[in-house]
Each structure stands twice: as structure tokens, then as C-alpha cells.
Structure 1
Amino acid sequence: MNFLLKKLKSKIILTFVSVLSSFLVTSAYAQTSDTLLQNATLDGIIDYALANQPIVKQAEINQEITDLQIKNRLADWYPQLNFNYNYQRNFQLPVNIIGGNQVRFGVYNTSAIQLTATQNIFNRDVLLASQTKQDVREVASKQTENARINLVANVSKNFYDLLATEQQRKITAENIVMLARSLKDARARYDVGVTDKTDYQRATIALNNAVASKKEIEEALKSKIANLKYLINYPDGRELSLEYDSTQLEAEIHLDTLETSQYTNRVEYQQLQAQLRLQQANVRYNKWSYIPTLSANGAYIKNFLNDDFAKLYNQGFPNSYAGLTLGFPIFQGGKRKNNIIIAEKQVQQTELDLVDFVNQASSEYKTAMAQYRANMANYLALKENMELAAEVHKIIELQYREGIKTYLELITAQTDLRAAQINYFNAVYGLLSSKIDVRKAEGAIQVN
């Protein structure tokens, strides 16, 4: 009995340990899933967006639909087999007049089984589908790729904009701490009679302004987080916090400004080229309308005839045939000629679209590169300004504590430092955004 109890106890313990282990593993997995974007890097956010954004998913679905449509068109090259079954009950047999006498022909019950086959030998619709399948697939795939590239660019720029606002919040929070300390010092100086009350009143005004500014920035931050969530299709109820390395991001701002525009790398250009090939194939398709269509066909038919329904299928009468069908429209009122001219005009339109895109791509690249160079010059100037403002603030703060400088000068130095820091970080993330524009304009953004 004791042995059984011990064995049962061991089983209960093992079961409990197993369940607990499973729970811990499941919890760990759930926690990992839930925190997937809790401390999200830019790469993590982009991956999430590419996997969940509806526009990208719609483009992928459209690509799948296009592939299935191509398969449907190509299916017409295969033999088309059909089976038909028919039963007919004649209540009155048909009458014919022979030698002035009425004679009824047929039986009251008829049935037939038919197996037919058709094979296209020449059919311009099927021929067009087989020759253009790769270009049709390429157009659909480039649409998907273009949606992905636009998403990557928009997510990246929104990410940088969000980081710039987050840096403003941090700088403002640090400034509030600094102003609170200055207010405390100014009040102490006033209490001992070293200064008048205008110093701590100015300190109060500056602190209140900083607190209000921080609140405004925090609200803007919420709005930008909501916009980023919308852009990547992130659940509204889940927290989205970002992980980034300012030093690493700053190291990524550089770009080779001596590169020339490579518009052939642009997805839009490749898509237009595929469309041009499709338009040229359409010209050939309309010219093929002067060629007859040819198909082979055959059938096996077994008829069953009997007045008595019970004996209808006792005996069958088979027949079969095979043949060729040649079809050629002789006159269509000039429709075929007009269709050829229309197709040739559409080719000309697509060629002009290519010319227009090349000009547009060149303009976009030059504009993006000019903006990047301007932002780089601005970044270098603002970086030096921030370093100088930090040094000036440090000196004036020491001089103020020694009674050399006035409080107004200290407030001015603090304001200049805060503005220089905010401008610097805005320049960093603005430069990163303009780099995205350059890479997009030169077709250098790669997506999986």
C-alpha cells in the first residue's frame, strides 16, 4: 500500500513539474511575443511593418492573384476534356410526311453519354499569355516591391522624426531640472539679500515655460507614436517603445555625394519597361488576328434508345469522330486594323512615360542630394554651436555663482544651450531622413 502511495505521489509531482515547465516556457514565449516591439530597433519596426502592413499584404495578394490568372490562361494549351450526360422523355414523337402518309419517328426514351476533347493548335489569346507571362509577373512583383520600398522609407523617416521629438523631451526635462536648481539658488540669494526678487521671478517664468513646453512635446510625442503604430499596423492597445543608439545613428549619416543617379535601379523604371514589353506584345497580338485559329477536336458518344424506360440502357449505339476546326473572320469593318493602330499608340504612350520617368527620377535625385548636402552643412554648424553653447553655459554658470554675471545672462545661456541641443538633434535626424530620400531616389533601398 505504501509503495502504491509513493508511486502515485511521484506521478503527481512529475505531472506538476511538467505542467509548471510548460507554463513557464509558454509564459516566456508569450512575454517574448508581447515585448517584440517593446524595445524596438528600426530594423525590428521595419520587419514588423513589412509583415503586417495592409497595403503590402494587398500587393502580395494581388501578386498571387496575377500568378493564378496566368495559370488559368496557360491552361488553355492543355487538352480540354468534357463529359456530358443527357436523358430525354418524348411524350409525343416527331412526325414526318412520307408519300402523303404521316409517319412518327423516334422512341419515347432517349439518353446519351458524351466525352469530348479539344486541343488548341493556334490560338492568339493563349499564345499571348505564354509569351507575356514573365512580364505580367514582373509588373505584379514590382508593384509589391514598390509598396515595400515606400513603406520602408516612410517608417524610417517617421522613426527619425519620433526620435527627434523624444530628444526634445529629454533635453527639456534636463532643462527643467537645471531651471529648478537655478530657481532654488535665486530664491536663496533673494532671501539673504544678495539679489532682488526679479531673479527668482525670472527663474519661475523660465521654469513654467519649460514645464509647458515639455507637456506640449509629450503630447506631440503621443501623436507621432500613434502615427507610427498606424503606419506599421501595430495594435493600438499595445505599448511601443523604441530602442536606439544616438552615437550609432549619428555614425550612419554619411553618404557618398559623388554618386550619380542610377534611375535604372528604380522599381518604377523596371515596371515601366515590363509594361512597354507588354504593350509591344499587344501589337503582335492584334496582328495575329489575321491568322486563322486552328484546333483539333474529337468526341465519343453513346446513345441509348428505347420506348421502355426499364430497358433503356440494355443496349447502346456508340459513335465517335475526330476533326480539325479552322476559323478565320473575313471582314470585321476595319476593326482589326484599328486595334493594331490603337496598340501602337499605346506603345508610344508607354515610351513617353519612360522618358518622363527618367526626367522625374533625375530631378528627384538632384533635389534629394541637394537637400542632403544642405542638411549636412546645417548639421556641422549646429554641432559646433551646441559645443560652444555648452562651454559658454558652463563658464557663465560659474561666473554667476561667483557674482560676476547676472541671472539674466545665466537664463540666456541656458536657453541658448537648450535651443542648440534641440537644433542639433533635429539636424541629425533630419539628415538621416534626407539620406533616406537620396537612397530612395537612386533606387538603393533593398527589401526582402
Structure 2
Amino acid sequence: MKKVYKNYFKKSFVVGILAALLSISAFSQESVKLDSTVLQQADLKQLIDYALKNQPLLKQNKLDEEITESTIKSKLADWYPQLNFNYSLQHNFIVQTSIIGGNPVKLGVENTSGANFALSQVLFNRDVLLAKRSQGDVRQQILQQTESNKINIVANVSKAYYNVLANIQQIDVTNEAINRLQKSLDNAKAQYEEGVADKTDYKRTSIQLNNAKAQKKSFENMQLANIELLKQLMGYPEEQPLTVAFEKDALIKEANLDTTATADYKNRIEFKSLETQRSLLKANVDYNRWSYLPTVSLNGNYNLNYLNNQFKDLYSNNFPNSFANLNVALPIFQGFKRKYNTKNAELQLKRTDWDLIALKQSVNAQYSQALETYKSNLANYNALVENVDLAKEVYDLIQLQYKSGIKTYIEVVTAEADLRTAEINSINALYQVLSSKVDVEKALGNIKTN
């Protein structure tokens, strides 16, 4: 016997280990599947598509949708006939005694057993009626929550992408400045060695060159942080490399926006969500009004009854019984509870009407602010682009005049710093325009998620 138990537990242990390994393997395969995509030279559309597929928040929303669907079906299941079975077995150590006609009489037997089949059908119940009428709005509400999160993800990923691009171009501009300064340093040092200029010229160039290299290092460190932020917003694995691509000319065209558009709050997901919430609150008002109506159901039972003083003969005789009934339950007075619950539901519905008015005003304010910010950033960008052309022209001219002995070297250093500053400022201005355009599109309700 001990050997049998030992073998049994040994087999159970092995089966348990195998089941655990299979579970771990399945989980690992799922993780590998989720992390298998590596984006190289990805444009904004590819980044957004990846985020909409892999962002953890949207994965949770997908599960919430499934949970909501299961909950709805669970509530609607109460409309179906309910069939239940119960079984009992009882031994009476002392059979109950009652006095009948002045004589003690035992009521019952020592052993009883019974089986019960119960069938019920709801004809009217406010809980199941609410579930049936509101199921569409409940589904719509969770889908709108997912859509709202998608819109925010698209907007946030777009802005993070523009920050990454701004840093890439800032690094490129700084590299160009370093190349110019290195050439200037070589030239200044050669002139100093030839006795044409003093050592202050190449010393100043060395200072500017070191500053440019430090600025480049700062941009590179910032780029690492920007990339990690972009990964986090996308739900991208932190251990996987991520590189982005862009075309500057296309981005400049993309920065253009129709500033004559008008905001319509009905296009916003917030309005649609409030409309759905209002429908659910209206259903809640009806639900509380239905509390004045009765709950009606049909019930049927079939009972098997086995009675015998001898346990071995318990199931030899059956004394069945069955019945059907119509059950109507109506609370008559509950201390005005139904009245106040209905009043509260009506007030909540009325409050939502004010939420809609507040949203309309909020949308108009958001759009006006976003549009004015966009216009300001666009005007700033156009001015800074002109400054880049002017600064480059000034730098080339002063460099030429310096070589001809007309200008001092300090003027060359100043012109180079002005050119680098103008280029970096114009880059920042472009991506400020693009980011503010995202805010305008979001205020208009024009951000697409599919």
C-alpha cells in the first residue's frame, strides 16, 4: 500500500512540474512574441501603429472590453430559464415527537433523502430589464474609453517623436559647428605659428570648440532620455534599439495647418462619452421608477422524497410531489426610499446636461488657445528661418573679411556663435510648430486612430 501511495505522489509531482514548465514556456513564448518587433528608421506612422498595438494601457482596455462583454452576458443570462438541482440525505437520531389527541406520536422516520428539481422563469425584473436596455450603451462606453486613450497616445507619441527629431538636428548642427571651429582653429594656429596673429585667436577658437563639444554631449544625453520616453509611450521594449527617420522638407510641409477651421465640440470623444453617460443615467432613472412595479416570475418544482427507518431500504420507496406557481412581489412602503432614489437619479441626469455645456465652452477655449499658440510658433519659426539665412551670410562675409585682414577674429567667433544659435533656434521653433499643431488637431477632434 505504501508503495502504491509513493508511486502515486511521485507521478503527481512529475505531472505538476511538467504543467508548471509548460505554463512558463507558454508565457515566455507570448513575451517573445510581443517583443519580437524591432523598429529601424521608423517614421511617425510606424511608431503610432506600433503604439496602438502594443501600448500596455490599450492592452488593459482590450481586457476591459472583454470583461464588460462577459459582465453583460452574465446579467442577460437571468432572462433564461433557471434550472437547479438539490440533493439531501439525513439521518434522525431522535425522531420528532408531537402530541396528537393527547397521545405522543412520532412524526417521520429515521432516514430521509430527497432530490429537488426547481425551474424558474423571470417575467419581469428591473435588474434584468436594465441590463437588456443598457447593454449597447455599456459596450459603447468602454469602447469610447479605449478611443480616448488611443487619441492621447497618438498625440503623446507624435510630440515625443518631434522632440527626438529636434535633438537629432541639434546634434547635426553642432557637428557642423564643430567642423567649422576645427578648421578655424587650425587656421588660427597656423597664423600664430607664422607670426601673422597672436595666440588669443586660436585660444578663443579652442574655447568655442570646447563649448560646442560640450553642447553636443548635452544634446546626446538628452537624446537618450527622449528615446526612452518615446519607447515608454509606445510600449516598446526598453532593451530593444529604436531608430527613427524623417525628411525635413516633408516635416516643413506637414507643419502647415488650416487656421480657418472652427471647433465643433460634437467631434470630440469627450462629448460622445458624455452622451453615452447621459444615456446610462437616463436608464438609471427608468430603473428607479421601475421599483414601483412588481417582480414577477414563474416557478416549478419536482421533488423526490425517500423515507424509511431502515437505511438499506431507504431508496426502495419514493413519495414524490410537484407544483408550479406564479410569484408576484411588490414592496408597498420602504420609508420613501424609492422616491429619493428616483430623485437622485433625475438630478444626476440633469447634472450631466451642465457637463455638456461646460464641455462646449471648454472645447472653444482649448481650440482658441491651441490655435493662437500655433500661429505664434509659426510666425516665430518663419522669422528664425530668415535669421538663419542672414546669420550664414554674415558669417561667410566676416570669415572672408578676416582672411583679408579687414575684420578681427573676435568678430568671426561672434558670427559663428550667432549662426549656430540661429540654426538651433529655428530647429526648436519648427518642432514647436509641429507639437502645437498636434494640440490644435486634438482640440478639433481630428486625430485619427486607425
Same fold (TM over 0.5): yes
- Specify the code of the residue in structure 1 equivalent to 2:212: A
Structure 2 match to 1:387: 389
Structure 2 match to 1:290: 292
Structure 2 match to 1:358: 360
The change in CA–CA distance for 1:89 and 1:148 in structure 2 (over 3 A counts) is same
Q: Distance in 2 between matches of 1:75 and 1:403?
A: 94
2:417 matched to 1:415?
yes
TM-score normalised by the chain length of structure 2: 0.90
1:34: Cα distance to partner?
5.5
Q: Distance in 2 between matches of 1:113 and 1:441?
A: 65
The change in CA–CA distance for 1:307 and 1:337 in structure 2 (over 3 A counts) is same
For 2:338, which of 331, 336, 339 is the aligned residue? 336
1:151: Cα distance to partner?
1.0
Structure 1 match to 2:208: 206
Structure 2's unaligned 5+ residue stretches are 1-31
Q: Is the 8 A contact 2:111 2:309 kept in 1?
A: yes
Structure 2 match to 1:11: none
- Specify the code of the residue in structure 2 equivalent to 1:208: N
Cα deviation code 1:376-430 (max 9, x no counterpart): 1111111121122222222222232233322222222211211111111111111
- 5 Å matches for 1:54-73? 54-73=56-75
The change in CA–CA distance for 1:233 and 1:39 in structure 2 (over 3 A counts) is same
Cα deviation code 1:10-62 (max 9, x no counterpart): xxxxxxxxxxxxxxxxxxxx9xx866223222222222222222222222222
- Specify the code of the residue in structure 2 equivalent to 1:445: I
State the SS of the aligned residue for 2:315.
coil
Q: Distance in 1 between matches of 2:374 and 2:184?
A: 39
- 5 Å matches for 1:10-409? 36-409=38-411
Q: Distance in 2 between matches of 1:314 and 1:389?
A: 110
Q: Is the 8 A contact 2:38 2:242 kept in 1?
A: no
Moved over 6 A (4+): none
1:270: Cα distance to partner?
0.5
Q: Is the 8 A contact 2:296 2:326 kept in 1?
A: yes
Structure 1's unaligned 5+ residue stretches are 1-29
Q: Is the 8 A contact 2:370 2:436 kept in 1?
A: yes
- Specify the code of the residue in structure 1 equivalent to 2:81: P
Q: CA RMSD in A?
A: 1.5
State the SS of the aligned residue for 1:242.
coil
TM-score normalised by the chain length of structure 1: 0.90
Q: Distance in 2 between matches of 1:126 and 1:169?
A: 64
Q: Distance in 1 between matches of 2:264 and 2:424?
A: 35
Cα deviation code 1:282-312 (max 9, x no counterpart): 1111111111111111111111112222222
1:115: Cα distance to partner?
1.1
Q: Distance in 2 between matches of 1:122 and 1:181?
A: 90
State the SS of the aligned residue for 2:380.
helix
2:444 matched to 1:438?
no
- Specify the code of the residue in structure 2 equivalent to 1:190: Y
Q: Distance in 2 between matches of 1:166 and 1:228?
A: 14
Q: Distance in 2 between matches of 1:316 and 1:243?
A: 83
- Specify the code of the residue in structure 1 equivalent to 2:71: Q
Cα deviation code 1:114-163 (max 9, x no counterpart): 11111111111111111111111111111111111111111110110121
Q: Distance in 2 between matches of 1:428 and 1:440?
A: 19
Q: Distance in 2 between matches of 1:107 and 1:249?
A: 92
Q: Is the 8 A contact 2:83 2:119 kept in 1?
A: yes
1:64: Cα distance to partner?
1.9
Q: Is the 8 A contact 2:38 2:241 kept in 1?
A: no
Q: Distance in 1 between matches of 2:434 and 2:310?
A: 89
Q: Distance in 2 between matches of 1:280 and 1:35?
A: 46
Q: Distance in 1 between matches of 2:140 and 2:407?
A: 70
- Specify the code of the residue in structure 2 equivalent to 1:272: L
Q: Is the 8 A contact 2:374 2:436 kept in 1?
A: yes
- Specify the code of the residue in structure 2 equivalent to 1:103: V
Q: Distance in 2 between matches of 1:317 and 1:364?
A: 77
Q: Which shifted more, 409-418 or 171-180?
A: 409-418
Across the two proteins, how many residue pairs are aligned to each other?
417
Q: Distance in 2 between matches of 1:389 and 1:312?
A: 108
- Specify the code of the residue in structure 1 equivalent to 2:235: N
Q: Distance in 1 between matches of 2:116 and 2:88?
A: 8
Q: Distance in 1 between matches of 2:413 and 2:37?
A: 42
